[in-house]
A and B are shown apart, each in its own frame.
Chain A
Amino acid sequence: MSKQNPTVMVVEDEWLLLEAISKKLKLEGINAIPYDNGTEALKYLHDSADLPDIIWLDYQLKDMDGLEFINKLKQIEKCAQMPVIVVSNSASEEKVHNMLALGITQYILKAKYRLDEIIQMVRKITDDNKNVK
């Protein structure tokens, strides 16, 4: 995949939201790797050589929560430094604090932002990350 267009793994268990995000990313010229559960998304990250530039993660998944996902992600060495943006409708202050402590890049409230705005944030994080590299 071309590195000119960033690749975003979207982990979101609400099918409608996953569809909206994936379509919007595609329209914006961003590659999307959509997953509706944490287990399969982690398996992909573990097994695949074609890694995303950023993970768009819903906090409340059916098979695990965001904290568990991030903890498991950190155990995959090649993904340990991968930026993660948590987009959720419910996470207590304590959970957000814990996730930030684990190294997530950003936490945002899903219902508060338009897709346009979130995609801008994603672009900014991936651009900043490229510049650092």
Chain B
Amino acid sequence: MDTQTAHPKTNPKLIPLFIFSASTVALLSILFFMIMDSFNLAIVYFMIGLIVTIVLNTAVAILILSSNTPKQVIDPSQENKNIPEGNNQELNTALALKEKELEAIRKMGDEIERKAFIDRTEAAATLASIGEGVVVTDPDGKIMVFNQAAEQMTHWQSSEAIGKFWFETVPAIDENGKLIPRKDRDMYKALITGKKVFAHSIYLQRGATKVFVAVTATPIIFGNKIIGSVEVFRNIGREIEVDRMKSEFISLASHQLRTPLSASKWFSEMLINGDAGELNAEQKEYAENIFDSNERMIGLVNSLLNISRIESGRIIINPRPTDMHELVSQVINEIKIKSDIKKQHIIFSIHSSLPLISIDPILIREVFVNLLTNASKYTPNEGEISVFVSKKDNDLICQVSDSGYGILQKDYTKVFRKFYRGENIIKIETDGNGLGLYLTKAIIESSGGKIWFKSEVSKGTSFYFTIPLSGMQARIGEVTLGS
């Protein structure tokens, strides 16, 4: 804002008055001097005339000034008219600028409001469109947000649920129908520990109907403070039903497929043994072919069942302190039946001070069986197979190497795929279903370990896998491998 120093300004209408007064005094002085011929008397009359003139002029000046003094109450509409022209222009420009600014601010406000509206609408639409139930609570577990899917799954309206305690509004029960206390609820655990919680749970809808849900409860942390939680849950009733059907299928397949395979196995065995009379060499060879093919079929059924069990997550993981030396030695002894026929040499080396490791011996045994069977199968006669078991950092590390045919580089990414068999070995070795390494990888990964390999065509392959020295995590499942 411009600042100006205020100076008193002479009213231009007073100037002629002063000129008139001064002229009158001068003329009267000359007139008195000429009439009275007395200088002293002329001075006296001059002084009287001067005083009279000053008095008269002052009166006239007061009258003139009073008529020119601006009114004290100013009409705002007339304000600009009373401002000198130069100032008016500046003010008009400033005013125009201010109006533009005001308009910009108004537009900005409109835009912010529009965006806020869009954001609100989008958030509401997103929440409403999410298929999963979403519940947001404050740090005490009081519901603040409750979306439509949550309404559908719990049969509570959001207007009723908001403000209530989540734990009380939607109770959870265990498999025996017992109410789960607040301290064991997933959201409460997330609020207390500050950590994300994943779980399966059974919620009671309004009306006490059970709904099976998969839950992710996440604490909302601002700074270092837990200011609330978000729980996302979805109905897994259908998945449980599919899982049940899958289990039924496995049971059916295991029984219905294995029963005729058992009959073929036992009758061909009896034929080979000469239980139905001695066979000639050709008949015996054919019977043996039937027996071997049947064995492959049994192996395939077993592998499919095992994969189904692993994939369904129903496999029992039952870790117990295991002597790795004993476990690997047993597998090697089994493999030797076939490797000896191929005159292969097996080397086994194990870390001298390896403690007992808490692993599920059935699962890890399956891993060694698969890797060693492959090593023998895909290594030519008189080849070498080596097994090393050691520890590195916090892991048990195992290596199964062979001097076999190797894996083609283009097959590297497919090695652990279901039903995949390397192009180079299909032609050499027909026996194999492409499920062993897939199953092996699934077992290792479900044990918290890793598996990888190095290979060179015609030189051999080394498979490596790790298991945490701390051991495998137990899992209460329903089935074991090979059952």
Are the CB atoms of B298 and A93 closer together than 8 Å?
no
Residues of A within 8 A of B482 (CB): 109, 112
Which residue of A27, A60, A93 is within 8 Å of B478 (Cβ)?
A93
Are the CB atoms of B316 and A20 closer together than 8 Å?
no
Q: How far is the CA of A14 from the CA of B478 in the complex (A)?
A: 27
Q: How far is the CA of A45 from the CA of B251 in the complex (A)?
A: 30
Q: How far is the CA of A35 from the CA of B275 in the complex (A)?
A: 22
Residue A1 is within 8 A (CB to CB) of chain B in the complex: no
Residues of A within 8 A of B273 (CB): 116
Residues of B within 8 A of A91 (CB): 483
Are the CB atoms of A89 and B258 closer together than 8 Å?
yes
Residues of A within 8 A of B364 (CB): none
Residue B480 is within 8 A (CB to CB) of chain A in the complex: yes
Residues of B within 8 A of A93 (CB): 316, 477-480, 483
Residues of A within 8 A of B269 (CB): 114-116
Residues of A within 8 A of B254 (CB): 89-90
Residue A46 is within 8 A (CB to CB) of chain B in the complex: no
Are the CB atoms of A14 and B270 closer together than 8 Å?
no
Are the CB atoms of B259 and A114 closer together than 8 Å?
no
Residues of B within 8 A of A16 (CB): 263, 267
Residue B155 is within 8 A (CB to CB) of chain A in the complex: no
Are the CB atoms of B483 and A115 closer together than 8 Å?
no
Are the CB atoms of B483 and A110 closer together than 8 Å?
no
Residue B310 is within 8 A (CB to CB) of chain A in the complex: no
For window 77-119 of A, CB contacts with B under 8 Å fall at 89-94, 96, 109-112, 114-116
For window 52-107 of B, CB contacts with A under 8 Å fall at none
Residue B470 is within 8 A (CB to CB) of chain A in the complex: no
Are the CB atoms of B255 and A60 closer together than 8 Å?
yes
Are the CB atoms of A92 and B478 closer together than 8 Å?
yes
Are the CB atoms of A20 and B478 closer together than 8 Å?
no
Q: Which residue of A is nearest B480, CB measured?
A: A93
Interface residues on chain B, size class: 20 to 34
Residues of B within 8 A of A115 (CB): 266, 269-270
Nearest-CB distance from B249 to chain A (Å)? 12
Are the CB atoms of A24 and B478 closer together than 8 Å?
no
Which residue of A90, A112, A114 is within 8 Å of B266 (Cβ)?
A114
Residues of B within 8 A of A112 (CB): 298, 482
Contact string, A8-48, partner B, CB cutoff 8 A, digits 1/0? 00000010110011011001000000000000000000000
Are the CB atoms of B478 and A17 closer together than 8 Å?
no
Q: Which residue of A is nearest B276, CB measured?
A: A23
Nearest-CB distance from A100 to chain B (Å)? 13
Are the CB atoms of A111 and B262 closer together than 8 Å?
yes
Q: How far is the CA of A90 from the CA of B270 in the complex (A)?
A: 24
Q: How far is the CA of A114 from the CA of B291 in the complex (A)?
A: 10
Residues of A within 8 A of B483 (CB): 91-93, 96, 109
Beyond A27-B275, A111-B298, A114-B269, whether A89 also contacts B263 by CB under 8 A is: no
Which residue of A23, A96, A110 is within 8 Å of B270 (Cβ)?
A23
Are the CB atoms of A17 and B258 closer together than 8 Å?
no
Are the CB atoms of A20 and B258 closer together than 8 Å?
no
Residues of B within 8 A of A92 (CB): 251, 478-479, 483
Q: How far is the CA of A90 from the CA of B261 in the complex (A)?
A: 13
Are the CB atoms of A23 and B275 closer together than 8 Å?
yes
Residue B265 is within 8 A (CB to CB) of chain A in the complex: yes
Q: How far is the CA of A16 from the CA of B267 in the complex (A)?
A: 9
Q: Which residue of B is nearest A16, CB measured?
A: B263
Q: How far is the CA of A90 from the CA of B477 in the complex (A)?
A: 16
Q: How far is the CA of A90 from the CA of B262 in the complex (A)?
A: 12
Q: Which residue of A is nearest B258, CB measured?
A: A89
Nearest-CB distance from A122 to chain B (Å)? 14
Q: How far is the CA of A96 from the CA of B316 in the complex (A)?
A: 14
Beyond A92-B479, A93-B483, A116-B269, whether A17 also contacts B255 by CB under 8 A is: no
Q: How far is the CA of A93 from the CA of B316 in the complex (A)?
A: 9
Q: Which residue of B is nearest A28, CB measured?
A: B275
Are the CB atoms of B480 and A20 closer together than 8 Å?
no
Which residue of B255, B263, B270, B298 is within 8 Å of A24 (Cβ)?
B270
Nearest-CB distance from B278 to chain A (Å)? 14
Q: How far is the CA of A20 from the CA of B259 in the complex (A)?
A: 13
Are the CB atoms of B270 and A111 closer together than 8 Å?
no
For window 423-474 of B, CB contacts with A under 8 Å fall at none
Which residue of B255, B270, B478 is within 8 Å of A89 (Cβ)?
B255
Q: How far is the CA of A27 from the CA of B277 in the complex (A)?
A: 12
Are the CB atoms of B259 and A17 closer together than 8 Å?
yes
Are the CB atoms of A20 and B263 closer together than 8 Å?
yes
Nearest-CB distance from B474 to chain A (Å)? 14
Residues of A within 8 A of B301 (CB): 111
Q: How far is the CA of A91 from the CA of B254 in the complex (A)?
A: 9
Residues of B within 8 A of A111 (CB): 258, 261-262, 265, 298, 301-302
Are the CB atoms of B258 and A110 closer together than 8 Å?
yes
Q: How far is the CA of A21 from the CA of B255 in the complex (A)?
A: 18
What 7 A-B pairs are tightest by C-beta distance, nearest first?
A89-B258, A90-B255, A111-B258, A20-B266, A16-B263, A90-B254, A110-B262
Q: List 11 A-B contacts (CB under 8 A).
A: A17-B259, A17-B266, A20-B266, A27-B275, A90-B254, A93-B479, A94-B478, A111-B262, A112-B482, A114-B265, A114-B266
Residues of B within 8 A of A (CB): 251, 254-255, 258-259, 261-263, 265-267, 269-270, 273, 275, 298, 301-302, 316, 477-480, 482-483
**Known A89-B259, A92-B483; further 17 A-B contacts with Cβ < 8 A:** A14-B263, A17-B263, A20-B263, A24-B266, A24-B270, A60-B255, A89-B262, A90-B251, A91-B483, A92-B478, A93-B316, A93-B478, A96-B483, A110-B258, A111-B298, A111-B302, A112-B298
